[in-house]
Amino acid sequence: MSTSSGLPKIIILGAGFAGHTAALHLSDLVKGSAEISVVAPRNRFTWFPSLIWVGTGTMSAEQTWFELQPVYEKIGIHYFDARAEEIAPDAQTVTIRYADDHTETLAYDYLLNATGPYLNFEGTPGLGPKVGATQSVCSVEHALGARDAYTTSLDQMRKGKRQKIVIGVGHPAATCEGAAFEYIMNVHWDLQRRGLRDKADLVWLTNEPEAGDFGVDGIEAKKGGVMVTGAGMVRMLFDEAGIKPIIAAGVSAVHGDSISYDVVGGDPSEMNFDFAMLIPQFRGIPMKYVAADGTDISAKMTLPNGFMRVDAEYAPKTYDEYKASDWPALYRSPYYANLYAAGIAFAPPHPISRGKKTANGMVVQATPPRTGMASGIMGRAVAQNIADQVAGREPSHHARMSEMPAACIASMGKSLLSGSAASIVMVPIVRDFERYPETGRDVGLCDLDVGLAGAWTKRLLHEAFMWKLQAKPGWQMIPE
Q: What are the residues binding ligand FAD (CB under 6 A)? A: 13-19, 39-42, 48-49, 51-52, 83-84, 114-116, 137-138, 176, 179, 285, 343-345, 370-373, 375, 408
| Least Cβ distance, residue 39 to ligand FAD (angstroms) | 5
Nearer to ligand FAD, 143 or 362 (CB): 143
Nearer to ligand FAD, 42 or 197 (CB): 42
Nearer to ligand FAD, 356 or 414 (CB): 414
One-letter amino acid identity for 149?
Answer: A
| Least Cβ distance, residue 97 to ligand FAD (angstroms) | 8
| Least Cβ distance, residue 371 to ligand FAD (angstroms) | 3
Nearer to ligand FAD, 41 or 57 (CB): 41
Nearer to ligand FAD, 17 or 199 (CB): 17
Q: Print burial letters for 69-90: b (CB count within 10 Å at least 16), e (below 16).
A: eebbeeeebebbbbbbebbbbe
Nearer to ligand FAD, 179 or 430 (CB): 179
CA atoms lying within 13 Å on the CB side of residue 125: 7
Nearer to ligand FAD, 358 or 375 (CB): 375
Other Cβ atoms closer than 10 A to 445: 13
| Least Cβ distance, residue 406 to ligand FAD (angstroms) | 7
Nearer to ligand FAD, 308 or 443 (CB): 308
Burial of 256 (0-12, 13-18, 19+ CB in 10 A): exposed
One-letter amino acid identity for 126?
Answer: G
| Least Cβ distance, residue 161 to ligand FAD (angstroms) | 28
| Least Cβ distance, residue 212 to ligand FAD (angstroms) | 16
Q: What are the Cα distances from residue 169, in Å, to 48, 138, 264, 365, 396?
A: 17, 12, 15, 11, 37
Phi, psi of 257 (to 5 degrees): -105, 30
| Least Cβ distance, residue 64 to ligand FAD (angstroms) | 10
Cα(228)–Cα(221) distance, rounded to whole angstroms?
A: 5
> Are the C-beta atoms of residues 124 and 280 closer than 8 Å to each other?
yes
| Least Cβ distance, residue 437 to ligand FAD (angstroms) | 28
Cα(94)–Cα(108) distance, rounded to whole angstroms?
A: 8
Q: What is the dihedral of CA 278, 282, 288, 292, to 10 degrees?
A: 180
Cα(29)–Cα(387) distance, rounded to whole angstroms?
A: 6
Other Cβ atoms closer than 10 A to 427: 19
Cα(221)–Cα(229) distance, rounded to whole angstroms?
A: 6
Alpha carbon of residue 105 to chain centroid: 29
| Least Cβ distance, residue 305 to ligand FAD (angstroms) | 14
Nearer to ligand FAD, 176 or 203 (CB): 176
User: Strands 226-229 and 220-223, how do they pair?
Assistant: antiparallel
Nearer to ligand FAD, 381 or 408 (CB): 408
Q: What angle do CA 358, 359, 362 make, to 5 degrees?
A: 40
| Least Cβ distance, residue 296 to ligand FAD (angstroms) | 17
H and E: helices and strands count for the chain: 9, 27
Cα(249)–Cα(257) distance, rounded to whole angstroms?
A: 18
Nearer to ligand FAD, 199 or 419 (CB): 419
| Least Cβ distance, residue 225 to ligand FAD (angstroms) | 30
> Are the C-beta atoms of residues 54 and 147 closer than 8 Å to each other?
yes
State which residue has the least CB distance to ligand FAD.
16
